[in-house]
Amino acid sequence: MERHFEHSGYVRCVEGSKYAVLMLHGIAGTPAHFNMLYDAIPQDFSIYNMPLEGHSKGVEDFGRASMSAWKEQARNMAKEILKKHEYIICVAHSMGCLFSIRLAIEDPERIKGLFLLAVPLRPLVKIKTNIACIRLMLGFDKHPSPLMNKIKNATGIHLVPKPWKYIRWIPRLLELVVETQRVRGFINKLDTPCKTYQSKNDELVAFSSCKDMKNISCISNTVLHSSGHFDYSQDDIEILNQGFAELLKEIT
């Protein structure tokens, strides 16, 4: 299959297709995060992988967006897709997982499966991650650390060395923390086949998030031992592709 690395996203609408895959990326993320999974999607499935509002643009565009706008956008995308297809399979990363869980609880008949990466039920920001982000915001990236490169490659937002422009990001991050708490409170209502993958070395999601999903019968969780929040080892990519293929087989 042709690979698409553009931050602007990718749509493949297959006429008459029964199933559609809806991909929802994380906060400050990019649709390109899911490039590794395209080959596992059957050719007769539609794909909708579009950036959330304020993403794939500039720093100020992101600051003008909001959590409520992102949630509504995810709902509207699902509604439009269901006008053309019978069922949706959600593939999501980080913040996108929260929206996918909401969609599945709201419409369990037509959201047939969830494939979730780094479910952020308990956020965690390590000191080294904070330092890497601040250095990127200040433009100190002439000699970037490996972590800085990972963060830079994982965002679709055009970063600029103007720290004052990031002030409007603070409310977006606080909204994310609130949303994680809300979803953690009702995730036990989920009754949709769901595979989750939590990275052992995640820089932004606490590993204790696994405990919040442990006793939910529809969730099958796998630990990725050699990956973080922003990228995956080749071994873990193979695990993800195998798990995704298994979920599609189970659903269809």
Q: pLDDT (tens digit, 9 = 90+) per residue, 135-185?
A: 998 888 888 999 999 999 899 898 899 989 999 999 999 999 999 999 999
Q: What is the largest CA-CA distance in the chain?
A: 51
| pLDDT reported for residue 234 | 96
- Is it the case that residue 245 has pLDDT exceeding 70? yes
3-state class of 241 per DSSP? Answer: helix
Task: Please identify which residue in the block is written with the tokens 């304020």.
Answer: 54
Q: Which residues contact 127 (CB under 8 A, 6 or more apart)?
A: none
* Per-residue pLDDT band at 45 (split at 50, 70, 90): very high
How many angstroms from the chain centroid is the CA of residue 149? Answer: 19
Q: For residues 54 and 36, give the distance between their C-alpha atoms in angstroms, rounded to a whole number.
A: 24
Contact 87, 20 (CB under 8 A): yes
Domain boundaries, the chain: 10-251
Best CATH choice for the domain 10-251 from the list 1.10.760.10, 3.40.50.1820, 3.30.1240.10, 1.20.140.10: 3.40.50.1820
